[in-house]
Structure 1
Amino acid sequence: MVIFMRLNFLAIVSAFIISLGGGASAQPWKTVEPSSAGWCVERLKAAQDYADILKPTAVMVVQNGDVIASWGEVTRKVNVASVRRSLLSALYGIAVSEGRIDLGSTLADLGIDDKPPVLTGAEKQATVRDLLTACSGIYHAAAYETDDIRQKRPGRESHPPGTFWFYNNWDFNALGAIYRQQTGGDIFRNFAERIAQPIGMQDFSAEDGRYVAERQSEHPAYPFRLSARDAARFGQLYLDGGRWDGRQVIPASWVRESATAYSATDRGSMGYGYLWWTLNPDVFGPGAAMASGYGGQAIAIVPSKHLVVVQTVDLAQNAKGVRTSHFVKLLQQLATAAP
């Protein structure tokens, strides 16, 4: 009885919080009672108890487009770190479908270079597809890198393009530069107009993005700030094959390709698609994927359960953040609790 009272109270509070804010055209999330949706309430509570230990800023659990549970500050916008890459991937899907970007184009074709030591002829043979799958073989210094990546970065020309996966900020930043060059648009304004507005994001605006340049590279990073409830909409868009309210926002083929593992990684059973991590199909079923960022930022889709799970972490509140492995464990608990 106590468990049901707690979850019912959370559902009422969540429905109120989620309905606040946003533009007039945004439709608030509908919240349903977990037990009536067939969830195991005891397992859901155990997952929440585990999440409470991790101290995220917010978690949202969405199934079939309805909020099953949420806790924390779902309207608080945080820097979602490397989740930015999956957001850019969505814009790439649109640009590719419009013929503005060719995945087979090489950096030489596109005139992409960098500050000295400049790219070699061999490095410039990397294609846009190589960058999307983090297999460019270009190990030039990049903006917005972590110390860990700087230490692990392979030597220049140690791997030919397309042959070796490395979680490489140079690839991701250069993709931002290529997008702007080939479309003539700004990443954040385009995201607001082409994705955020059509799917009814309630908190995001183009001012929630910024470019971060550093002296060692001419290609800036492009961090985004998102709320958990807006991130959940993005996850739902991908879960539904790029379609929202009858409109194809992102090509369905691109969504499928993004969540296909093209590269083995150093993260065990996790693979890498087009700027999306793929999750172990033996655990989560086919097509499960995740956008993941430093400190515990995550948007996960589990098609076999019609499930979207979002976690945000404000590092100003929780300096240690949440490890990716801990979020994956939480996701597994939630998937087990789901019907």
Structure 2
Amino acid sequence: MLLKTKLEKIINSSYGNIGGMIVLKDGKTLYENYFKESSAASTFHVFSVTKSIISILIGIAIDKGYIKSINQKALDFFPDYSVKRGEKTIQKVTLKDMLTMTAPYKYKSEPYTEYFASDNWVNSALDLLGGKGKIGEFRYTPLIGPDILSGILVKATGQSVLNFATKYLFSPLNIHVEGNIVFRNEEEQLAWYKEKNVKGWVADRAGVNAAGWGLNLTPADMAKIGQLCLNEGIWDGKQIISPAWINESTKEHSRCNQWKLSYGYLWWIIDDKEHAYAAMGDGGNVIYVNAKKKMIVAIASFFVPKAKDRLKLIKKYIEPAFEDCEGTMLRHIKKNL
């Protein structure tokens, strides 16, 4: 009780936009609580946590033979796309380059207004792929770029991203995502950002779900995704995704020097020795997995700009509080016998 009270004081004083948090260890729920009038049924826009879900879906598509290899060229999936004369770099970009954020783009800053105004975000992203940058250099692309992976999933599987995810990932984990969210104009999109308990998955007007943002989940949904990965792809005795993909996608393949973090396949690598990694989204949304400690931390948050670092909260306060929770309780019981 003391640990819980101390943790909640820290959350309320320094992490006030958190809406829900779940801590699992050895598959058991050690902590679950909701803030800001949220509940277990509340859904949150998890922003870039969506990217790590896309990573899992790419792995499932490979497992099922829809995609041959991450070394395939991205343009192999878009035979009707016309490359402009003289553009060679775009023709060399592979799925792996995109998954590791080492693909180059033509823009210095993301042209959000033009991008969101288009009906087809995948084609708009393809138009911006390549340029004079070098393949292999880390360049984090929050929104414009990952949508190409959504387009690849659609082309490879013949299904929408949401339908594919529902069949092979969400339904087995009893996660319900209601449907597509399509904005008719900028005003609708801006208004949506401010709403609470939003549901569904954002898609462009062509019906392709966003890959870099736009998915809405409950804290329990997020915890399930983390537990699936910790279980090396097994859920209720069924192999949902291969352990090889989980392990490969959650180890270092590139490095973000700006944030001093390694990057896997759309997962942030936190600690190699403990095999700790995380899906992290704007506003402080996190699915944190620590394989050595067999611990999951799912944090769902309401958006605020420049949210306080959740990794510090997890490493400094949450892990120490719960990693030896059973041992602490036993020592407390023995002391008071």
**1:114, 1:219 within 8 Å by CA — same for their partners in 2?**
no
Q: Which amino acid aligns with 1:275?
A: L
Alignment of 1:1-339 (within 5 A): 4=1, 41-42=2-3, 44-53=4-13, 54-55=15-16, 56-72=18-34, 73-101=39-67, 102-111=69-78, 120-139=87-106, 157-161=131-135, 163-168=136-141, 169-201=143-175, 203-207=176-180, 208-212=200-204, 221-222=210-211, 223-281=214-272, 285-315=273-303, 319-320=304-305, 322-323=307-308, 325=309, 327-332=310-315, 333-337=317-321, 338-339=323-324
Q: Structure 1 pair 116/130, CA: closer, same or farther in 2 (3 Å)?
A: closer
- Pairwise CA distance, 1:137: 1.5
8 Å Cα contact 1:75/1:227 also seen in 2 = yes
CA distance in 2, matches of 1:74, 1:321: 25
Measured against aligned partners, the alpha-carbon deviations of 1:174-229 in whole angstroms (never above 9, x if no partner) come to 1111111111111112212211111223x433451121369xxx987242110111
Letter in 1 for 2:313: L
Percent of aligned pairs with the same amino acid: 22
SS of match in other structure, 1:292: strand
Match of 1:15 in 2: none
Cα contact 1:107–1:113 (8 A) shared by 2: no
Q: Is the 8 A contact 2:202 2:209 kept in 1?
A: no
TM-score computed with the length of structure 2 as normaliser: 0.74
Q: In structure 2, what is the Cα distance between the partners aligned to 1:113 and 1:295?
A: 38
C-alpha distance 119-50 of structure 1, shift in aligned 2 (>3 A):
farther
Q: 1:250 to 1:143 in 2, by over 3 A?
A: farther
Q: How many Å separate the matches in 1 of 2:177 and 2:228?
A: 15
8 Å CA contact 2:104–2:129 kept in 1: the answer is no
Residues 45, 212 of structure 1: alpha-carbon distance in 2 compared, 3 angstrom cutoff: farther
Instruction: Tell me how far apart the structure 2 counterparts of residues 130 and 106 of structure 1 sit (CA, whole Å).
Output: 9
Change (3 A) 1:65 1:247: same
Instruction: Report the CA distance between 1:119 and its aligned residue.
Output: 9.0
CA contact (8 A) 1:113 1:119 kept: no
Aligned to 2:333: none
Q: 1: CA distance between counterparts of 2:46 and 2:258? A: 20
Larger CA deviation: 126-135 vs 262-271: 262-271
Which 4+ stretches in 1 moved above 4 angstroms? Answer: 112-119, 140-146
In angstroms, what is the RMSD of aligned CA positions? 2.9
CA contact (8 A) 1:298 1:311 kept: yes
The equivalent of 2:123 in structure 1 is: none
SS at match of 2:202: coil
Q: Work out the CA distance in 1 between the residues paired with 2:50 and 2:10.
A: 26
Distance in 2 between residues matched to 1:197 and 1:93, nearest whole Å: 17
Match of 2:70, SS state, is coil
The answer on whether the counterparts of 1:132 and 1:171 sit within 8 Å (CA) in structure 2 is no
The amino acid of 1:221's aligned partner reads: A
Superposition deviation, residue 75 in structure 1: 2.1
1:107 shift after superposition: 2.8
CA distance in 2, matches of 1:247, 1:142: 43
Q: Quick one: structure 1 residues 330 and 113, their matched pair in 2 at CA, closer, same or farther if it must change by over 3 Å?
A: farther
Calculate the TM-score normalised by the size of structure 1.
Answer: 0.74
2:285·2:299 contact (CA, 8 Å) conserved in 1?
Answer: yes
* Code of the aligned partner of 2:91: K
Q: Is the 8 A contact 1:58 1:70 kept in 2?
A: yes
Q: Distance in 1 between matches of 2:11 and 2:81?
A: 42
Structure 1 residues not aligned, in runs of 5+: 5-40, 147-153
